[in-house]
Amino acid sequence: MELLFGRNPVLEALRARRSVNKILIAEGSNVGSIKEIMALAREQKVLIQFVDKKQLDNMSQGENHQGIIAYAAPKDYVELDEILLEARRKEEVPLLLMLDGIEDPHNFGAILRTADAAGVHGVVIPKHRAVPLTAGVAKASAGAIEYVPVARVTNLAQTMEKLKEQGCWIVGTDSGAKTLHFEADLSGPLVVVMGSEGKGLGKLVKEKCDFLVSIPMLGRINSLNVSVATSVILYEIIRQRRAARGK
């Protein structure tokens, strides 16, 4: 079982019907969203146990548990083909996000939150040298981890070739790219590749991209946090797609 810390992660896990075995609630914490959590837990026959807050402090090891911890089944990864099939089922133009070596769980969680808001059909991460789906990622995603499919692959470069065969264009983000993100056509079937916090895109991954874009930086800092940069790119895609539909 996996530990989920905080009200939003636990609430969204219950809403998404993820298998939850037991919920620990700090004594006296029975207001606000805790009431909804308790109602859903009882409806789904999940065991609720009231404990001393110190027990939750010890279990969370510094994480802000907000008075609640749940024992849940680990979040399952999906197959890449499932993401593309879901886009086709919805009759939507595919939009995938590929993360090349994101190692900070808070950044990954924030990216998942934006991906959910922007209607991304799925996220692709590598099996090695990248943060997996963890309780910290779930907490940072504010529950979005329950709704954004994540595929974990062995080789990003090979996966990029497979996605090209499926009709997707691959756009990488790179600070040295001459084309700005709003100058490129981002309205078609697209995979957006974001690099790691410090190193950016790997050499082979960058070479496999169909084209590269950069975000204009007008101040003294030469780069954005990767989760912020992801938001900028995704909402430009939304703008272009809405404009293409005449909305």
Q: For residue 85, what is the domain's CATH number?
A: 3.40.1280.10
Percent of the chain with pLDDT over 70: 100
- For residues 54 and 84, state if they share a domain: no
Whether residues 142 and 200 fall in one domain: yes
Give the Cα separation of 233 and 239 in Å (integer): 10
- Which of 11, 40, 72 terminates a domain? The answer is 72
Contact partners, residue 245, CB within 8 Å, separation at least 6:
none
Q: Please tell me whether residues 133 and 237 are part of one structural domain.
A: yes
Side-chain half-sphere exposure of 94, counting CA atoms within 13 A:
26
User: What residue type is 149 in one-letter code?
Assistant: P
User: Using N-to-C axis directions, what is the helix angle for 33-43 and 7-15, rounded to 10°?
Assistant: 30
For 127-133, the CB contacts below 8 A with 24+ separation are 127/152, 127/153, 127/154, 129/101, 129/103, 130/99, 130/100, 130/101, 130/102, 130/103, 131/102, 131/103, 131/104, 131/105, 133/74, 133/75, 133/77
pLDDT tens string 23-42: 999 998 777 889 999 999 99
Give dist(CA 53, CA 68) in Å, integer: 9
Domain, as residue range, for 123: 80-244
- Residues in the chain with pLDDT < 70? 247
Measured over all CA atoms, what is the biggest interatomic distance in the chain, rounded to whole angstroms?
57
- With a CB cutoff of 8 Å and minimum separation 6, the contacts of 56 are 24, 26, 65, 67, 68, 69
Q: Is residue 141 domain-shared with residue 188, that is, in the same domain? A: yes
Please name the residue that has the structure tokens 């991906």.
Answer: 115
Supply the CATH number for residue 9's domain: 3.30.1330.30
Residues 98 and 49 in one domain: no
Final residue belonging to a domain, choices 15, 39, 72: 72
pTM: 0.85
Phi and psi (nearest 5°) for 162? -65, -40
- Based on the domain organization, do 94 and 187 belong to the same domain? yes
Based on its alpha-carbon atoms, the radius of gyration of the chain, rounded to whole angstroms, reads 20
> Quick one: pLDDT at residue 247?
64
For residue range 210-230, what is the model confidence (pLDDT) as tens digits? 999 999 988 887 778 999 999
As for how many domains the chain has, the answer is 2
Residues 175 and 227 in one domain: yes
Q: Are 60 and 155 in contact (CB under 8 A)?
A: no
Q: Can you tell me which residue has the tokens 């402090």?
A: 57
Do 123 and 226 lie in a common domain? yes
